[in-house]
Structure 1
Amino acid sequence: MLLELRQLRIQPGQQLLLEDVSWQQFENILAELGEHRAARISYSHGFLEIMVPLPEHEKAKEIIGDIVKILLNELSINYDALGSTTLKNEKMSQGVEPDTCFYIQNQAAVIGKNRINLSVDPPPDLAIEIDLTSRTLLDNYQILGVPELWRYGKQGLQINVLQGGKYVESNFSPTFPDIPIIELVNQYVQQSQVVGSSQAIQAFRNWLRDNI
């Protein structure tokens, strides 16, 4: 008897790893899970991981995403925020859903698109992963060619920049080269845990007003 995904119950903070999953099975699983769900997926060469994040993960995702949007707006940089859209490339046998992602330099290529296919579309310029409840594998993003990946974990923000097909850890963000992103993200995510998210974001806006 075959189990169906709807019969599985994955608790927040838990992961399910499936092996020997074909590309068509991966596509079928995506369709069965639907778009309005808490689970995040990652697929690489037949291995499929399904993870359900904890509330602390979602809070960090929202405030970091807000910081990026505020900066882009303040600097008058055009962008499209695609959230946790599925990034996939059948030829490379890769699929991943970042916590959030942004098209900035490549924004024009995805305006009006409701689906992203990295076989023909460019990857997002910036992807963000929250690693409080799981550990992001770099391979998906390296193979898909995402130029900049932020990972926020218990030790704070780490910026990875693609150089020669491999990620190199960087002390600054190519997207915001003149702004101390690591320091700011660490400060205001931590502050949000003490005073609340909206208050931390307002404090960040105040910092911007005084420094930009």
Structure 2
Amino acid sequence: MNLKLENAVQQQVEEQRFLLSGVTWEQYETLRATLDDFPGLRMTYLEGMLELFMPSEEHEDIKTTIARLLELYAIEKNVRLYGYGSATYRKKAKERGLEPDECYYLNTKKEFPDIAIEVIVTRGLLDKLEVYRGLGVPEVWIWQQGQLVIYHLSQENYEPATRSEFLPDLDLDLLMRCASMPDQHDAVVAFRDALQ
């Protein structure tokens, strides 16, 4: 296992990313099990490459705000949405594994979530869409610089979409406006008021 240290720190954002190469599947599983109790640590594994990521407070604020808004939407619209946060998902045959920032199942739990949400504050070192593709996650939402892009898995590749296949009536512009608000409580209240 070769350690290549890449620290992707940007404009006083306290996110840290480290990339290890030549990591076997067994080493990845051992590291994941060993470091499970390390608060906040995320791992992304892609065919022998392992990214270790410690999210910033800004990252966690945005992902929590989006989660609160989405969960409020599901309650208001009576959608059976089940959140699993940053649970670990992996597939040995495809040599892929990760913890989404947030993830959801609709109606019932399956092997992999229906929707995964990723917040990008600093550039990642591995292609997460490639990891999700190998896991077969049907929909990935990526938030970056106040914009939300939804990707649908079509055939073998992700394609950008204008709306969620699972939540087609969700007003994405409203969600982005509220998620961009500096105060979580104000964002949730504004979103709730707009839904009613």
Q: TM class by shorter-chain length?
A: 0.7 to 0.9
CA RMSD, Structure 1 to Structure 2 (Å): 2.0
Give the C-alpha shift of residue 178 in structure 1: 2.0
1:54 to 53, 56, 60: 56
What is the TM-score of this pair, normalised by structure 1? 0.82
Residue type at the aligned position of 2:105: Y
Residue type at the aligned position of 1:23: W
1:83-127 deviation per Cα after TM superposition (whole angstroms, max 9, x unaligned) = 00001011111101100100114x244xxxxxxxxxxx2x10000
Give the C-alpha shift of residue 133 in structure 1: 2.2
* Partner SS for 1:129: strand
Identity %: 31
1:38 to 23, 37, 40: 40
Task: Tell me what 2:163 maps to.
Answer: 172
Structure 1: give runs of 5+ residues left out of the alignment: 3-9, 110-120
1:132 aligns with 2:121: yes
Give the C-alpha shift of residue 60 in structure 1: 0.5
How many angstroms apart in 2 are the aligned matches of 1:179 and 1:100?
Answer: 17
Aligned length: 185
Contact 1:53–1:133 (CA under 8 A) maintained in structure 2: no
1:160 aligns with 2:155: no
* Partner SS for 1:91: helix
* Partner SS for 1:187: helix
Give the C-alpha shift of residue 55 in structure 1: 0.8
What is the TM-score of this pair, normalised by structure 2? 0.88
Per residue, is there more strand in 1 or in 2? 2
Task: Tell me what 2:65 maps to.
Answer: 63
How many angstroms apart in 2 are the aligned matches of 1:163 and 1:77?
Answer: 24
How many angstroms apart in 2 are the aligned matches of 1:175 and 1:36?
Answer: 33
Q: Within 5 A, what are the aligned runs for 1:138-157?
A: 138-157=129-148
Q: Within 5 A, what are the aligned runs for 1:17-36?
A: 17-36=19-38
Contact 1:100–1:129 (CA under 8 A) maintained in structure 2: yes
Give the C-alpha shift of residue 76 in structure 1: 1.3
Structure 2: give runs of 5+ residues left out of the alignment: 2-7
Q: Within 5 A, what are the aligned runs for 1:162-201?
A: 162-181=153-172, 183-191=173-181, 193=182, 196-201=183-188
Task: Tell me what 2:194 maps to.
Answer: 207
Residue type at the aligned position of 1:76: N
